[in-house]
Structure 1
Amino acid sequence: MLALLHTSPVHVPVFEALRDADHPGLRLRHFVDEDLLRRAREDGPDAVAHDVAAVLDRAAAEGAGALLCTCSTL
């Protein structure tokens, strides 16, 4: 399973379509947290580091072999 961390739900169908086109058997797990981007912009990336780490931990606990952060700000 590949976990993806998004800061907008608009990215979910984009990555689903990319997976369908190139790796149809791959299971994706999407984590969406719009507040992370707002907080990172206002207070800097360090302000959300703990929350991003929590998503990493949750993804690993759910069996993800890798996590892709789709937000360039984080």
Structure 2
Amino acid sequence: MKILRKYYLKEFFKFFGMVLLGLTAISIVAEFFDKASEFYSEKPPLRFIIQYLLLQTPRVILFALPFASLFSILM
């Protein structure tokens, strides 16, 4: 039973990581395009834009966790 459990956990976390990374990336890109007009009008330095997107990442991950776990269980 331990071998089967280890296999299932390995597969679960593999899909979980991929789905979480994918959902996070999609959400960050969507956030960038959503704020693109503000970035264009204000013209902040690139460093501030990257910093803003990096600071949004924990929030995005918290929203993506339930979906990632659901999709991983379904796989």
- Relative contact order higher in (CA < 8 Å, ≥ 6 apart): 2
| Structure that is richer in helix per residue | 2
Alignment TM-score, normalising by the size of structure 2: 0.35
Alignment TM-score, normalising by the size of structure 1: 0.35
- Radius of gyration: which is bigger? 2
